[in-house]
Amino acid sequence: MQDKSVPRREDLCKKYFFAASSRTEEVQRFIAAPMCCKSWDCPDCRKMKARSYVKRMLNMWRRPKLYFLTLTYFHSNSPDEAWRTYNAAWNRLRTNLSKQFGTFNYVRVLESHTKSPYPHLHLITDKRFPTTSFGKAAIAAGFGYQIEQRAITSDGARFYIVKYLTKEWKNGEGWRLRKKYRCRLISFSRGIMSPETGGGNWNSLLVGASISACLERIHTEIAWAVEPRLIVKNERIDEGYAEITVDWDHTSLESLRIDPNSWQPDDWCPK
């Protein structure tokens, strides 16, 4: 059933699709979706990864107050030097702030300037820092400092994270330097991310086909499941993605149930 000519992973996005099924005792799920490379270099996968991060940061969104800050770099050093020292600069700043003000939770998203390849980062925390103290700590760690600390809601924080993770970097040199020095686009404090859920064991139905062929295969699979009969509970079909959930219909088994008070050995047969 599978197409053996599926290309290498980096070439898969929106070129090949798969259909799969997952069954539990009560519910069966079917999905059809593009085969994704899961790379930040891919615009489609960036959107998917960004939504996944935001969805799993439940412990951050439960904080009563959140604050948004932006850190920049002075241009006294070269862009290459700024990217090369970025990870160490952040570790110094985080350590210094923790010593002064106690532990805090954070999410940071990295970005490059549009007109120059210098990095800057957007920081969301659950603690407000004194402006002067934060500015001094940022400069001492190796950053420049752009004063932009303001309170935001959880919805606002989610919006900013998705916005900056999916934003196209128009300065290609900044993107190249980020990859050269292995700087993460997003990082966060421990304990705010809920674990990824695998969603059960999936069985492949079709690989290397169009989305329409995947849907046809899924509907054929549902039609074959006649005992017990499947009832479509939810069907969501978007461009390039489909998810269908079905319930096992146990009403057909009602005729086999016997009243325990009137049960006799010869009674155990379909009515």
Each residue's pLDDT tens digit, 127-164: 999 988 998 999 999 887 666 678 999 999 999 999 99
- Mean local confidence (pLDDT), 35-62: 87
pLDDT band at 10 (very low <50, low <70, confident <90, very high): low
Do the domain assignments include residue 51?
no
Rounded to 5°, the CA angle 177-178-183 comes to 140
217-232 exposure pattern, b = at least 16 Cβ within 10 A, e = fewer: bbeebbeeeeeeebee
First to last CA, the chain: 40
Q: Lowest mean pLDDT: which of 8-17, 233-242, 255-264? A: 255-264
pLDDT tens for 182-202 read 999 999 998 888 877 655 678
Tell me phi and psi for residue 40, to 5 degrees. -65, -20
CATH code for the domain of 103? 3.30.70.1910
Do the domain assignments include residue 143?
yes
Bigger pLDDT: 226 vs 41? 41
- Are 136 and 213 in the same domain? no
Percentage of the chain beyond pLDDT 70 is: 80
- Are 237 and 142 in the same domain? no
Instruction: Report the pLDDT value the prediction gives residue 197, as an integer from 0 to 100.
Output: 64
Question: What CA–CA distance (Å, rounded) separates 185 from 188?
Answer: 11
- Mean local confidence (pLDDT), 252-269: 39
Alpha helices in 142-250 (DSSP H): 154-166, 172-180, 211-224
Q: How far is CA 196 from CA 21, 54, 124, in A?
A: 19, 12, 22
pLDDT band at 269 (very low <50, low <70, confident <90, very high): very low
- Are 91 and 26 in the same domain? no
pTM: 0.70
Q: Which domain holds residue 210?
A: 10-38+197-267
Question: What CA–CA distance (Å, rounded) separates 110 from 268?
Answer: 68
